Amino acid sequence: MIRNILITFSLLLFLGLYSFAYVDIVYPSSQNLTINSDIMFFSGNTDSNVKINSNPVKLWENKFFVHTVPLKYGKNVIKITAEKNGKTEEKVYIITRNKLPLNKANPSKNLYKSFSGSILFSKTVKNDSTVRDNPSLAGNRIVDLPKGVNLYFDAKQGNYYKINAQSETSLWIHKSNINNPVEIKTKIKAIVKNINNRSDKHYDYIRFNLSYPVMFTLKQSDNKLKLTLYGIYDEETKNTKNFEYIVDYNSPQLGYDCYYEGNTLIFKKAKLPEIIDDNAPLKGINIFVDAGHGGHEKGTISPERIYEKNINLDIALDLIDLLKASGANVSYSRSHDTKVGLYERVHSAKKNNALISISIHCNSLPYGKNPYEKHGTEVHYYNDNAKILADIINKNIANDLNIKLNGTHKSSFVLTRSTNPVSVLIETAYMINPNEYILLKNGYFRHNIAKSVKKSIEEYILFLRQNKS
Ligand SMILES: [Zn+2]
pLDDT at residue 115 tops 80: no
Residue-by-residue DSSP string for 235-279: TTTTEEEEEEEEEE-SS----EEEEEETTEEEEEEE---S---SS
Q: How far is the CA of 413 from the centre of ligand 1 (A)?
A: 11
Is the CB of residue 248 less than 8 Å from the CB of residue 220?
no
The residue type found at 108 is: S
Average pLDDT (234-261) is 88
3-state secondary structure at position 10: helix
Q: Are residues 306 and 388 in the same domain?
A: yes
| Domain membership flag for residue 3 | no
Q: How far is the CA of 307 from the centre of ligand 1 (A)?
A: 10
Give 165's Cβ-side CA count (13 Å radius): 28
The whole-angstrom separation of Cα 391 and Cα 424 is: 10
Q: How far is the CA of 320 from the centre of ligand 1 (A)?
A: 18
Q: Helices (DSSP H) in 232-352: which residue ranges?
A: 308-325, 342-351
Q: How far is the CA of 308 from the centre of ligand 1 (A)?
A: 7
Domain final residue, candidates 70, 97, 124: 97
Average pLDDT (8-18) is 54
Domain final residue, candidates 65, 97, 129: 97
Task: Quote the pTM value.
Answer: 0.90
DSSP 8-class letter at 50: E
Is the CB of residue 160 less than 8 Å from the CB of residue 174?
yes
| Domain membership flag for residue 280 | no
Which residues, chain by chain, have CB under 5 Å from ion ligand 1?
Answer: 292, 299, 361
Q: Are residues 71 and 213 in the same domain?
A: no
| Domain membership flag for residue 14 | no
Q: Are residues 308 and 384 in the same domain?
A: yes
* Domain count for the chain: 4
Average pLDDT (15-23) is 71
Q: How far is the CA of 363 from the centre of ligand 1 (A)?
A: 6
Is the CB of residue 343 less than 8 Å from the CB of residue 409?
no
Taking the CB of residue 418, how many other CB atoms lie within 10 A of it?
25
| Domain membership flag for residue 259 | yes
pLDDT at residue 358 tops 90: yes
Q: How far is the CA of 293 from the centre of ligand 1 (A)?
A: 6
Q: Are residues 46 and 160 in the same domain?
A: no
Strand order in the sheet with 23-27: 23-27, 39-46, 64-70
Q: How far is the CA of 399 from the centre of ligand 1 (A)?
A: 22
Q: Are residues 200 and 136 in the same domain?
A: no
DSSP 8-class letter at 108: P
Q: How far is the CA of 334 from the centre of ligand 1 (A)?
A: 14
Q: Are residues 218 and 235 in the same domain?
A: yes
The whole-angstrom separation of Cα 185 and Cα 6 is: 86
pLDDT at residue 106 tops 60: no
Burial (CB < 10 A; 0-12, 13-18, 19+), residue 196, is exposed
3-state secondary structure at position 418: coil
The residue type found at 213 is: P
pLDDT recorded at residue 200: 94
CATH number of the domain encompassing residue 137: 2.30.30.40
361 beta partners: 427
CATH number of the domain encompassing residue 209: 2.60.40.790
Average pLDDT (153-177) is 94
Q: Are residues 318 and 460 in the same domain?
A: yes
CATH number of the domain encompassing residue 52: 2.60.40.10
Q: How far is the CA of 81 from the centre of ligand 1 (A)?
A: 31
Which of the four pLDDT bands, split at 50, 70 and 90, describes residue 11? low
pLDDT at residue 196 tops 80: yes
Q: How far is the CA of 42 from the centre of ligand 1 (A)?
A: 20
pLDDT recorded at residue 172: 97
Domain final residue, candidates 214, 239, 270: 270
Q: Are residues 114 and 88 in the same domain?
A: no
Q: Are residues 290 and 426 in the same domain?
A: yes
The whole-angstrom separation of Cα 403 and Cα 377 is: 7
| Domain membership flag for residue 4 | no
Listed range (91-95, 99-103, 385-389, 421-425) with the worst mean pLDDT: 99-103
pLDDT recorded at residue 223: 76
Taking the CB of residue 159, how many other CB atoms lie within 10 A of it?
12
Is the CB of residue 211 less than 8 Å from the CB of residue 191?
yes
Residue-by-residue DSSP string for 218-240: EEEETTEEEEEEEEEEETTTTEE
pLDDT at residue 5 tops 90: no
pLDDT at residue 15 tops 60: no
Q: How far is the CA of 129 from the centre of ligand 1 (A)?
A: 25
Q: Are residues 419 and 302 in the same domain?
A: yes
Q: How far is the CA of 434 from the centre of ligand 1 (A)?
A: 17
Q: How far is the CA of 317 from the centre of ligand 1 (A)?
A: 16
| Domain membership flag for residue 462 | yes
Domain enclosing residue 452, as ranges: 286-466
| Domain membership flag for residue 179 | yes
Q: How far is the CA of 461 from the centre of ligand 1 (A)?
A: 26
| Domain membership flag for residue 276 | no
DSSP 8-class letter at 177: G
Q: How far is the CA of 361 from the centre of ligand 1 (A)?
A: 4
Q: How far is the CA of 445 from the centre of ligand 1 (A)?
A: 18
Q: Are residues 379 and 401 in the same domain?
A: yes
Q: How far is the CA of 88 from the centre of ligand 1 (A)?
A: 35
Q: How far is the CA of 395 from the centre of ligand 1 (A)?
A: 20
3-state secondary structure at position 324: helix
pLDDT at residue 136 tops 80: yes
Q: How far is the CA of 292 from the centre of ligand 1 (A)?
A: 5
Q: CA-CA-CA-CA torsion for 218, 219, 225, 228, nearest 10 degrees?
A: -50
Which of the four pLDDT bands, split at 50, 70 and 90, describes residue 467? confident
Average confidence score pLDDT of the chain: 92
Phi, psi of 288 (to 5 degrees): -105, 130
3-state secondary structure at position 459: helix
Q: How far is the CA of 398 from the centre of ligand 1 (A)?
A: 19
pLDDT recorded at residue 104: 54
pLDDT recorded at residue 190: 95
Q: Are residues 338 and 430 in the same domain?
A: yes
Q: How far is the CA of 356 from the centre of ligand 1 (A)?
A: 19
77 beta partners: 94
Q: How far is the CA of 298 from the centre of ligand 1 (A)?
A: 8
